[in-house]
Structure 1
Amino acid sequence: MSDRILITGGAGYIGSVLTKELLNQGYSVTVLDRFMYEQNSLLDCCNNENFSVIRGDIRDKETLQSAMKGQDFIIHLAALVGAPLCNADQIAATTTNLDASKLLLSLRTKDQKILYPCTNSGYGIGEKNKFCTEETPLRPISLYGKTKVEAEKEILDAGNSISFRLATVFGVSPRMRVDLLVNDFVHRAMTDKFVVIFEGHFKRNYIHIQDVARTFLHGIKNFENLKGETYNVGLSDANLSKLELCEKIKKYRSDFVYIESDIGKDPDKRDYIVSNEKIEKTGFKPIYSLDFGIKELMKAFAIIKDSRYGNI
C-alpha cells in the first residue's frame, strides 16, 4: 500500500502542482485547505480515487486532527505567504504560520513525518559575495520571515522532520500567482512592456515550481537519510539581481523596457546569494532553468491577463 500524505494548504500555488505530482506517483493524497482565494485549482484531481479534500482551517483543532488521522507524511504548506499579505493581517499571519504549526506538532503521532517549506527570506540581508549556507545565521526582517523561521525551528526541534528553504519560486501553477518576482516581471513584460524596478542590484536565488514538487518527492523517498536537517533549494546558476533578471527576460521580449528608481523598498530586504550544495550532495538536482520558466510564463500570460492571480 502506498504512503498516505496530507498536504495542508494543498490548493495553493505550490500545493496544486505538488498534489497532482504525488497522485501521478501513486500516493494517496488528502488536501486540507480553506480555499481563501476561491480557487478551483484541484478540480482535475477529483477523478482520482486516491485524492481526498477537506475544506477547513488548519487553526481549527478538530478539523486538523481529523485530517491528520492515519497519514504517514504531512507536507505543511498552509501559510499566509509573503510580507505584504502578512503585514495586511498580522494576527492571521501569526496564528496561521506559527500557532497552527505548533498545533499540528501537538496533534501528530511520533511516527508521522513532516516536510516543511521555509523561505530564503529568513537570511535577510546577506554578506557581500558570501554564499548563504544552511549554517548561516537567520536574520528575518518581515513578520512573514519571522513566523516561517520560528515555525521551522519548532518543527525541526520536534524531530522526524525536514525543512526545505525555498528560493523565490517561479513558473506556472493551476493556482497562479503573478506577484512572485519572476512571474511578475514576465507578466509586466507581456502586458505593459515595461517595469520600474527598485533596489535593482539586490540579488536572490530562484527555483521552478516543478522542481519544488520534485524536492518534496525527493524528501519523501529519502526521508530517513534527510531527516533532522534543513536544505536550501534553488538553481545554483541563478543567483541573480533584479537587473540581471530583466536582462534575461529582454532576450525573449526585445520590446521590454526596464528602468531603475530610488522609490520603493523590499519589506524583506532580500539581498543574498545562496548555496544549494547540501541538497545537491543528496542526489537532487533541479532540471527546470530560469530560461525555461520565462518561456513557459510567456505562454501562460498570453492566456491570462487578470491581476486577481496574486496573493494581495
Structure 2
Amino acid sequence: MYNILVTGGAGYLGSIMVPALLAAGHKVTVVDNFMFKQVSLAHCCSDPNFSVVRGDVRDMALMKRLLVGADVVIPLAALVGAPLCKADPFGAESINLTAQIELMKALSPNQRVLMPITNSGYGIGESGKFCTEETPMRPISLYGIHKVEVEKAVLDHSNSISFRLATVFGMAPRPRLDLLVNDFVYRAVYDRFVVLFESHFKRNFIHVRDVTGAFMHGLTNFETMKNRPYNVGLSSANLSKWELCEVIKKHLPDFVFVDAPMGEDPDKRDYIVSNERLEATGWAPQYDLDKGVVDLIKGYTMLKNTIYTNI
C-alpha cells in the first residue's frame, strides 16, 4: 500500500478517486483550497488513513513538507477548462503551469506521479484520422497549452504516467455542470432544448468513474506503464455534439436540439481519439455514455442550481 498525496482532491475527479484509493487500503493526504466551498470528502473523515490540508499548491514550502513520506503524487489541482482559464489567466498560469512544474522539480526520483492531462491538446484533428499518443499536440486554448507543457515536465521526471483525459462526464459528490455532457443533460432535464454551435465537431468522452479506474489501473501496473502518455476515453464515444444529443434524446424524448450558425468552442476541439494503448494494458471502461446520462438524470432530480460550475 502507498502513501499518496492528492492535490485538488476535493474536486470533481478527486471526489470519486480519493474514496477509491482509501477503499484499496492506501493512506491518502488531500491538499485543496476549497475554493468552491465543497464538502465532497466529508464521508472520508472517519477513515484513519485519510488526512486533509487546506492549502494552496502554489505554496511550495507547504508542498515540500507534504511531499515528505509520499510514495505517489496525483496532481489534480487546476483551474479546469478553457473558459475558466480565459477568465483568470494569471491563476491559470500560476496553478496549472508554474505550480505543477515546481512540484515536479521538488520530487525525488523514486516518487511516482500519475498526472491528468487533457486530450484537447490535440486541437483540430484530421477528418477520419484517429489521434494517437504519437499525434503531434497542437493545443489552442490557454488551458490546453499549459497542460501540454506540464506533460513534458511530468514525463521528464522518468517515474510517471500521463493520462490524456477525454471530456469527462457523470455524477460525482462534487458535480461539474459546465462539462459538455453534464451541461447538455441538465438543459435537457430542465430546459428541454439546447441550441448547438459547431454541432459537427467531434470529441471523445469518458465517465468520471472510469477516470478513477484508469488511475487505479496505472497505480497497479505502474512499472510496465510508466514514462508514457495514455489516451483515456470511450472508444465507443467519439461523437459530435449532434450525435451526443441524439443519445440524450433516447432517455429524454421531449429534448429538442437545433443548429445555429454562430458561436465557437474555445478549445476548437474537433478530433477523434484512439484509446488502444491503454486498452492494450488490460484497462477497459465500465461506464458507457448511456449509463452516464441515466445517472445524470437521477442526479439532476436532486440538484437544480448552477453552483456546481467552474465559471
Which residue pairs with 1:189 in the alignment?
188
CA distance in 2, matches of 1:30, 1:114: 14
CA distance in 2, matches of 1:261, 1:66: 52
CA distance in 2, matches of 1:236, 1:66: 40
What's the CA shift for 1:151? Answer: 0.4
Secondary structure at 1:270 match in 2: coil
Which residue pairs with 2:304 in the alignment?
305
CA distance in 2, matches of 1:26, 1:290: 30
Structure-to-structure mapping, 1:37-56, within 5 angstroms: 37-56=36-55
CA distance in 2, matches of 1:244, 1:18: 29
Which residue pairs with 2:132 in the alignment?
133
Secondary structure at 2:114 match in 1: strand
Deviations 1:107-164 (A, max 9, x none): 1111100000000110000000000000000000000000011001111012101000
CA distance in 1, matches of 2:207, 2:278: 16
Deviations 1:242-264 (A, max 9, x none): 00000010001110000111111
Which residue pairs with 2:56 in the alignment?
57
Secondary structure at 1:251 match in 2: helix
Which residue pairs with 1:210 in the alignment?
209
- Aligned residue type for 1:39: Q
Structure-to-structure mapping, 1:127-276, within 5 angstroms: 127-276=126-275
What's the CA shift for 1:228? Answer: 0.5
CA distance in 2, matches of 1:270, 1:99: 25
Which residue pairs with 1:296 in the alignment?
295
Give the RMSD, CA atoms, in angstroms.
0.6
CA distance in 2, matches of 1:96, 1:141: 19
Consecutive unaligned residues of structure 2, counting only runs of 5 or more, are none
What's the CA shift for 1:8? Answer: 0.7
What's the CA shift for 1:58? Answer: 0.5
Secondary structure at 1:85 match in 2: helix
CA distance in 2, matches of 1:20, 1:197: 36
Deviations 1:263-303 (A, max 9, x none): 11001100000000000000000010100000000000011
- Aligned residue type for 2:119: N
TM-score by length of 2: 0.99
What's the CA shift for 1:70? Answer: 0.3
CA distance in 2, matches of 1:191, 1:21: 32
What's the CA shift for 1:180? Answer: 0.3
Does structure 1 retain, via aligned residues, the 8 Å contact 2:2–2:27? yes
Does structure 2 retain, via aligned residues, the 8 Å contact 1:208–1:289? yes
Moved over 3 A (4+): none
What's the CA shift for 1:169? Answer: 0.3
- Aligned residue type for 1:10: G
Count of residue correspondences:
311
CA distance in 2, matches of 1:80, 1:66: 23
CA distance in 2, matches of 1:266, 1:160: 35
Secondary structure at 1:106 match in 2: helix
Secondary structure at 2:205 match in 1: strand
Does structure 2 retain, via aligned residues, the 8 Å contact 1:54–1:67? no
Does structure 1 retain, via aligned residues, the 8 Å contact 2:109–2:157? no
What's the CA shift for 1:69? Answer: 1.2
Consecutive unaligned residues of structure 1, counting only runs of 5 or more, are none
Deviations 1:5-58 (A, max 9, x none): 111110100011100111111111110111111111110000100000010001
Secondary structure at 1:220 match in 2: helix
CA distance in 2, matches of 1:68, 1:80: 22
CA distance in 2, matches of 1:45, 1:301: 24
CA distance in 2, matches of 1:15, 1:8: 9
Does structure 2 retain, via aligned residues, the 8 Å contact 1:131–1:274? yes
- Aligned residue type for 1:256: F
Does structure 1 retain, via aligned residues, the 8 Å contact 2:16–2:173? yes
Does structure 2 retain, via aligned residues, the 8 Å contact 1:156–1:162? yes
CA distance in 2, matches of 1:263, 1:47: 50
What's the CA shift for 1:103? Answer: 1.1
